[in-house]
């Protein structure tokens, strides 16, 4: 089984405060996955980020922060607004994939996952297994979920990846984003950033500045933390650049692609 994440940075215009799908990237990625499936079908789960659909409303409603009881109705409506926005993005994505001939089936986290203190603590994955057995491609994404401590919280696609990988024991975990992998500092703002082929400790980062956009879930640093947790359990993952044409196709075909392997080994 392969768990493939496609970052919100690829599928949306993440710098925008408007909800904008990057239709060109979406189509290209759908065709790359289809080309790989035409060679051989695979057990694949797709996770996608929320990008410009999820982060601006999540920021606006401050979901995941403590609030006064009197604000409950307003927060609840904010929760609904975010859930609806990320669902829209998911619908665009699944529509494109289905048009391409990929049997994608959306399984939103808000409908079966709950959290405690912003960490997923419950979510039965049996349905994922059943859909996989029948040759579907389950699709899940960064979403809002009920939280036992905070009432509501946002969970990133990266946290979802971690939860799925811990519980489903995939052969490979791949994350496509808009940079080649992990650098010692943000390569978008530092020309002298150094690239890591392998990464095994947050201490190797010069700064913990996570992202260049409105990401509320931690950007690259948030991603790395989730993946280091997996690495501690012996589950290796790889971050690649999904903006580079054919990278997703090649990685699905097990061909060599530039990227950063996150593992605790050297």
Total residues in contact with ligand ADP, by rule CB under 6 A: 25
Site for ligand ADP in 17-56 (CB under 6 A): 49
Q: Strand locations in the chain, DSSP E?
A: 2-6, 44-48, 104-106, 114-116, 119-122, 137-141, 143-147, 151-155, 172-177, 198-199, 237-241, 259-262
Q: Which residues contact 262 (CB under 8 A, 6 or more apart)?
A: 182, 198, 199, 200, 224, 227, 228, 230, 231, 236, 237, 238, 239
| CB 204, min distance to ligand ADP, A | 9
x/- site string to ligand ADP, residues 85 to 114, per CB under 6 A? ------------------------------
Q: Give CA–CA dist 90/97, Å, rounded.
A: 10
Q: Which residues contact 14 (CB under 8 A, 6 or more apart)?
A: 8, 51, 52, 55, 178, 213, 214, 215
Comparison of 57 and 210: residue with beta carbon closer to ligand ADP? 210
SS3 201: coil
x/- site string to ligand ADP, residues 113 to 152, per CB under 6 A? ----------------------------------------
> Which of 3, 4, 7, 170: binder of ligand ADP (CB under 6 A)?
7
Region near ligand ADP per CB under 6 A, out of 25-33, 72-80, 147-155, 186-194? 186-194
Our measurement of the distance from residue 266's CA atom to the centroid of its chain's CA atoms, rounded to an integer in Å, reads: 25
| CB 76, min distance to ligand ADP, A | 27
Residues facing residue 177 across a β-bridge:
241
Comparison of 170 and 259: residue with beta carbon closer to ligand ADP? 259
Any contact of residue 178 with ligand ADP (CB under 6 A)?
yes
Any contact of residue 237 with ligand ADP (CB under 6 A)?
no
Site for ligand ADP in 198-227 (CB under 6 A): 205, 209-213, 215, 219-220, 223
Residues facing residue 262 across a β-bridge:
199, 237
Q: Give CA–CA dist 162/167, Å, rounded.
A: 9
Any contact of residue 185 with ligand ADP (CB under 6 A)?
yes
| CB 7, min distance to ligand ADP, A | 2
Mode of pairing for the β-strands spanning 151-155 and 143-147: antiparallel
> Which of 182, 235, 257, 262: binder of ligand ADP (CB under 6 A)?
182
Q: Which residues contact 22 (CB under 8 A, 6 or more apart)?
A: 10, 11, 12, 13
Interface with ligand ADP (CB under 6 A): 7-10, 14, 49, 177-179, 182-183, 185-188, 205, 209-213, 215, 219-220, 223
């Amino acid at each position: 089984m392969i768990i493939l994440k496609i970052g919100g940075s690829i599928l949306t215009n993440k710098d925008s405060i408007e909800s904008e799908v990057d239709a060109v990237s979406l189509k290209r990625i759908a065709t790359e996955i289809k080309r790989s499936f035409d060679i051989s079908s695979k057990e694949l789960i797709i996770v996608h980020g929320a990008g410009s659909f999820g982060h601006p409303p999540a920021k606006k409603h401050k979901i995941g922060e403590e609030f006064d009881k009197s604000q409950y109705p307003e927060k609840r409506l904010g929760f609904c607004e975010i859930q609806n926005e990320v669902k829209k993005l998911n619908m665009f994505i699944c529509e494109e994939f289905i048009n391409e001939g990929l049997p994608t089936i959306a399984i939103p986290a808000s409908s079966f996952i709950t959290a405690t203190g912003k960490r997923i603590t419950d979510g039965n994955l049996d349905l994922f297994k059943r859909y996989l057995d029948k040759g579907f491609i389950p699709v899940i994404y960064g979403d809002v979920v009920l939280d036992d401590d905070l009432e509501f919280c946002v969970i990133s696609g990266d946290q979802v990846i971690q939860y799925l990988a811990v519980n489903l024991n995939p052969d490979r975990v791949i994350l496509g984003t808009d940079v080649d992998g992990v650098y010692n500092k943000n390569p978008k703002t530092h020309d002298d950033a150094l690239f890591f082929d392998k990464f095994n400790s947050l201490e190797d980062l010069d700064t913990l500045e996570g992202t260049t956009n409105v990401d509320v879930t931690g950007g690259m640093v948030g991603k790395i933390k989730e993946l280091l947790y997996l690495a501690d359990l012996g589950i290796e993952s790889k971050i690649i650049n999904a903006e580079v044409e054919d990278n997703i196709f090649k990685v699905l075909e097990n061909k060599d692609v530039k990227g950063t392997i996150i593992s605790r080994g050297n």
